[in-house]
């Protein structure tokens, strides 16, 4: 949706450091304090060690030059070996600690995010695509935890390293040190500018890349259309403009990178040059206080050692923008409070009653468990302010009744169901259960008493057995089978290669839509809900399965309150009450016979829509089961 993209853009990073966001993120670090302390210590140690290395080199040289033949290099070499081993051990510990922290933080954020997603209202899902949410919990989490653990440590290391080198140089020769340090500000400034640009271009490259991928998938999915419209050349032309953009941006990105390094290295060599010149003059001055050759060499190594930490720090600063954007999106998710939740009174009632133990027939909040009546009283609802999809809706249903909701798409049928399940709450008016506003009953109680079968049946990537058992996790094999038999699913399941242990491929691809509906029905039966809601599939299933579903459905409906968004003639006809819903209002209500006599909307609908259904049946009768597959 265009509004969706607009909102996503809105959610993009908008300048400035947001402390509250980071505070929330750093709270995820608190369980790992010990590791953090270790990590900081190791980072400081690393910086110290790295700064000390040139000193050893200096020692060896000076020692060799001064003592000549009598030089004892062994202690120096041992010192070098010791430092090396410590440094490597430090590297080892550093990576391990950072790994522990980053993987755990990422894991914890993901867990919290997932938990949150289970609680959020559907209105949240309506506004965001699944892909968007997945990205939040995968790449954003990873990026953020990497940033916190690694970049944070790189920061400490970089700063410590800079300070360490600076201190050592100042100690060795403060005049020369100050001269060398003049290269730091321009280097830092250039690094920051370049890293920011590099990051921006690589983001652009990624964006174009995802467009290219989308183009490929479009061209593959629409290949027949492309061929029939003879669009091959034009499509390629449009695509090449995309690859041209890609070319330009990637090359720009590469150019920035290949420009950055030489510039920084050249700046570093300015440092080396300065050292050689001023240091050389000092060495040659032959004063007693003059500098040794070893010191000069040490200075030369130090002058190049700035590059690493400065680059790291610059990258960190550039990356911090991205990381903050990721952090904002995640905190945005974590800090939403669900709009629909139990009121304090309800929570209190549930606690009081569950603690006391529940007698039979009493719900967790101490009220009656059996649902006798459901009443919609003057209910209005709008998903978006000002656009009412349901207006002043009134309906009373008694135990055992079935209601067929009929009408055009967008008329409000699904909204009625959503309100009944309390996925949304009425904007005005009330929904009453046994005469009590359902906002005064626990959400969990209501929803576990409702069984829903959706138009596009959703099954999990697991065995059929597990999918049915989803309705009631306590059910055993016998009960699962009983449910399957009740809805006529048992036979087709037994005909599958592995019976109940057949795995359903992703999205349930191995089963036909009709079969999937049967499995969903079995799942709903096992849950044994008091209220049953079904959104009938519009797509035609083969007649045999359709009859199986029909019979299965009848078995399910017995003794329950049911709401069916109905498309099939037989279902509609057998309903206790048919509601024709249009523009958020009931236009007609009654039984099939009553409505036909009325010769109104239902009558027209019946002629237009259901005559087709009959024609389909004739087809099926004339051509029984001898069908060739279309590709």
Partner 1 sequence: MYAGAIAAMVLSAITMFLPPLIARTAIDYVIVGKQLNAPGFIRGFIQWAGGRDLLVHNLWIASLTIVAISAISGVFAYLKGRWASIASETIARRLRNRLYDHLQHLPCSYHDKVDTGDLVQRCSSDVDTIRTFLASRVVEIGRGGIMLAVALPIMLAMNAWMAFLATMLLGPIIFFSIIFFVRIKNVFKQMRQAEGSMTATLQENLTGIRVVRAFARQDFECEKFAVKNALYRDRWRRLMHIMSWFWSLSSLLCMMQVGIVLLAGGYYVSRAEMSVGTFSAFFMFVNMYLWPLRRVGRIMADLGRSVVSISRVNDILDAKREDHEDGPAIIPHMTTPIRGQIVFENVSFSYDGHREVLRDVSFHVEPGQTLAILGPSGSGKTTLIYLLLRLYDYQKGSIRLDGKELRLLDRKFIRSQIGVVLQDPFLYSKSIRDNIKLGRSTATEKEMIKAASTAHVHAAIEDFDSGYDTIVGERGVTLSGGQRQRVALARAILKDPPILILDDALSNVDTRTENLILNALKRESPSNKGQRTTLVIAHRLSTLMAADKIIVLDAGRIVQSGTHETLLNQPGLYRRLWNVQSSFDEQLGCYAEQSDRTSDNEEYPDEY
Where in 479-518 is the site for partner 1 (CB under 8 A)?
506
Q: How far is the CB of 77 from partner 1 (least distance, A)?
A: 5
**Closest to 441 measured CA to CA, from 374, 360, 377:** 374
Tell me how long the chain is.
Answer: 631
The number of residues that bind partner 1 (CB under 8 A) is: 162
**Closest to 468 measured CA to CA, from 493, 496, 449, 448:** 493
The number of beta carbons lying within 10 Å of the beta carbon of residue 269 is 14
DSSP code per residue over 325-370: HHHHHHHHHHTPPPSS---HHHHHHHHHHHHH---TTB-TTSSB-S
Using CB under 8 A as the binding rule, whether residue 82 contacts partner 1 is answered as no
Residues in contact with partner 1, shown as a per-residue x/- string from 542 to 561 under the rule CB under 8 A: --------x-----------
Q: How far is the CB of 23 from partner 1 (least distance, A)?
A: 24
Using CB under 8 A as the binding rule, whether residue 281 contacts partner 1 is answered as yes
Cα–Cα dist 488/229, whole Å: 46
Nearer to partner 1, 515 or 574 (CB): 574
Cα–Cα dist 67/291, whole Å: 17
Where in 32-61 is the site for partner 1 (CB under 8 A)?
56-57, 60-61
Q: How far is the CB of 330 from partner 1 (least distance, A)?
A: 14
Where in 131-150 is the site for partner 1 (CB under 8 A)?
133-134, 137-138
Among 9, 30, 266, 509, binds partner 1 (CB under 8 A): 266
Using CB under 8 A as the binding rule, whether residue 612 contacts partner 1 is answered as yes
Residue 402 backbone zone (phi > 0: left; psi -120 to 50: alpha; other: beta): beta
The number of beta carbons lying within 10 Å of the beta carbon of residue 217 is 10
**Closest to 278 measured CA to CA, from 171, 190, 188, 182:** 182
Piece of the chain touching partner 1 by CB under 8 A; list 10-18, 250-258, 367-375, 384-392: 250-258
Using CB under 8 A as the binding rule, whether residue 182 contacts partner 1 is answered as no
Among 13, 22, 155, 603, binds partner 1 (CB under 8 A): 603
Q: How far is the CB of 357 from partner 1 (least distance, A)?
A: 21
Among 7, 31, 37, 65, binds partner 1 (CB under 8 A): 65
The number of beta carbons lying within 10 Å of the beta carbon of residue 558 is 11
**Closest to 578 measured CA to CA, from 588, 475, 9, 504:** 588
Cα–Cα dist 345/350, whole Å: 9
3-state SS assignment for residue 71: coil
Using CB under 8 A as the binding rule, whether residue 221 contacts partner 1 is answered as yes
DSSP state of 503: B
Within 8 A by CB and 6+ apart from 408, the residues are: 582
Among 20, 31, 171, 232, binds partner 1 (CB under 8 A): 232
Using CB under 8 A as the binding rule, whether residue 64 contacts partner 1 is answered as yes
Nearer to partner 1, 137 or 327 (CB): 137
Using CB under 8 A as the binding rule, whether residue 622 contacts partner 1 is answered as yes
Among 280, 332, 338, 505, binds partner 1 (CB under 8 A): 280
Q: How far is the CB of 351 from partner 1 (least distance, A)?
A: 18
Using CB under 8 A as the binding rule, whether residue 384 contacts partner 1 is answered as no
Where in 388-427 is the site for partner 1 (CB under 8 A)?
409, 421, 423
Nearer to partner 1, 159 or 274 (CB): 274
Among 7, 175, 227, 398, binds partner 1 (CB under 8 A): 227
For 366-373, the CB contacts below 8 A with 24+ separation are 367/434, 367/436, 367/441, 368/434, 370/399, 370/530, 371/399, 371/433, 371/434, 371/449, 371/530, 371/531, 371/561, 372/398, 372/399, 372/434, 373/397, 373/398, 373/399, 373/432, 373/433, 373/434, 373/435
Using CB under 8 A as the binding rule, whether residue 261 contacts partner 1 is answered as yes
Q: Tell me which residue has tokens 């239902």.
A: 602
Piece of the chain touching partner 1 by CB under 8 A; list 76-84, 181-189, 380-388, 558-566: 76-84
Piece of the chain touching partner 1 by CB under 8 A; list 17-25, 27-35, 40-48, 225-233: 225-233
Where in 445-484 is the site for partner 1 (CB under 8 A)?
447-448, 450-452, 454, 458, 460-461, 470-471, 473
Q: What is the largest CA-CA distance in the chain?
A: 121
Where in 299-358 is the site for partner 1 (CB under 8 A)?
300
Among 2, 30, 474, 495, binds partner 1 (CB under 8 A): 2
Among 20, 27, 243, 428, binds partner 1 (CB under 8 A): 243
């Amino acid at each position: 949706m265009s509004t969706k993209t607009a909102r996503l853009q809105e959610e993009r990073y908008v300048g400035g450091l947001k402390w509250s966001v980071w505070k929330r993120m750093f709270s995820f670090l608190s369980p790992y304090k010990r590791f953090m302390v270790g990590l900081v210590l190791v980072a400081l140690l690393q910086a110290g060690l790295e700064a000390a290395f040139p000193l050893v080199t200096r020692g060896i040289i000076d020692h060799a030059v001064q003592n000549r033949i009598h030089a004892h290099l062994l202690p120096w070499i041992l010192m070098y070996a010791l430092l090396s081993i410590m440094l490597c051990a430090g590297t080892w510990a550093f990576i391990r600690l950072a790994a522990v922290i980053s993987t755990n933080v990422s894991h914890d954020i993901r867990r919290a995010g997932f938990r949150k997603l289970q609680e959020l209202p559907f209105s949240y899902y309506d506004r965001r695509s699944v892909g968007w949410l997945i990205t939040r919990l995968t790449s954003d989490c990873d990026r953020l935890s990497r940033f916190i653990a690694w970049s944070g440590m790189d920061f400490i290391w970089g700063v410590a390293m800079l300070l360490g080198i600076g201190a050592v140089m100042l100690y060795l020769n403060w005049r020369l040190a100050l001269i060398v340090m003049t290269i730091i500000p321009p280097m830092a400034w250039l690094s920051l500018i370049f890293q920011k640009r590099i990051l921006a271009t690589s983001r652009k490259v990624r964006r174009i890349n995802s467009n290219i991928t989308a183009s490929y998938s479009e061209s593959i999915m629409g290949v027949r259309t492309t061929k029939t419209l003879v669009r091959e050349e034009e499509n390629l032309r449009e695509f090449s403009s995309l690859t041209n953009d890609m070319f330009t941006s990637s090359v720009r990105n590469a150019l920035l990178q290949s420009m950055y390094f030489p510039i920084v290295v050249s700046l570093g060599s300015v440092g080396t040059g300065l050292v050689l010149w001023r240091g050389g003059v000092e060495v040659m001055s032959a004063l007693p206080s003059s500098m040794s050759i070893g010191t000069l060499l040490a200075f030369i190594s130090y002058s190049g050692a700035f590059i690493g930490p400065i680059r790291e720090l610059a990258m960190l600063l550039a990356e911090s923008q991205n990381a903050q954007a990721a952090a904002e999106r995640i905190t945005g998710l974590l800090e939403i409070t669900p709009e629909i939740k139990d009121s304090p009174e309800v929570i209190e009632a549930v606690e009081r009653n569950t603690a006391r133990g529940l007698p039979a027939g009493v719900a967790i909040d101490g009220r009656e468990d059996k649902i006798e009546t459901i009443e919609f009283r003057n209910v209005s609802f709008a998903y978006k302010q000002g656009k009412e999809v349901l207006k002043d809706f009134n309906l009373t249903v008694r135990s055992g009744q079935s209601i067929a909701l009929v009408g055009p798409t967008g008329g409000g049928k699904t909204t009625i169901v959503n309100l009944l399940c309390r996925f949304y709450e009425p904007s005005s008016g009330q929904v009453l259960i046994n005469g009590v506003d359902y906002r005064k009953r626990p959400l969990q109680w209501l929803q576990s008493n409702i069984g829903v079968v959706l138009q596009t049946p959703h099954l999990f990537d697991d065995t059929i057995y597990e999918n049915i058992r989803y309705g009631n996790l306590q059910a055993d094999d016998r009960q699962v089978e009983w449910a399957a038999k009740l809805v006529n699913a048992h036979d087709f399941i037994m005909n599958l290669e592995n019976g109940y242990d057949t795995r359903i491929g992703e999205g349930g691809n191995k089963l036909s839509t009709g079969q999937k509906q049967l499995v969903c029905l079995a799942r709903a039966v096992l849950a044994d809900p008091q209220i049953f809601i079904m959104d009938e599939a519009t797509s035609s299933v083969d007649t045999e399965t359709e009859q199986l579903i029909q019979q299965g459905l009848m078995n399910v409906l017995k003794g329950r309150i049911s709401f069916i968004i109905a498309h099939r003639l037989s279902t509609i006809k057998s309903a206790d009450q048919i509601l024709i819903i249009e523009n958020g209002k009931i236009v007609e209500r009654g039984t099939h016979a009553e409505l036909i006599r009325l010769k109104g909307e239902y009558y027209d609908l019946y002629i237009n829509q259901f005559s087709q259904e009959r024609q389909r049946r004739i087809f099926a009768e004339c051509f029984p089961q001898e069908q060739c597959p279309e590709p």
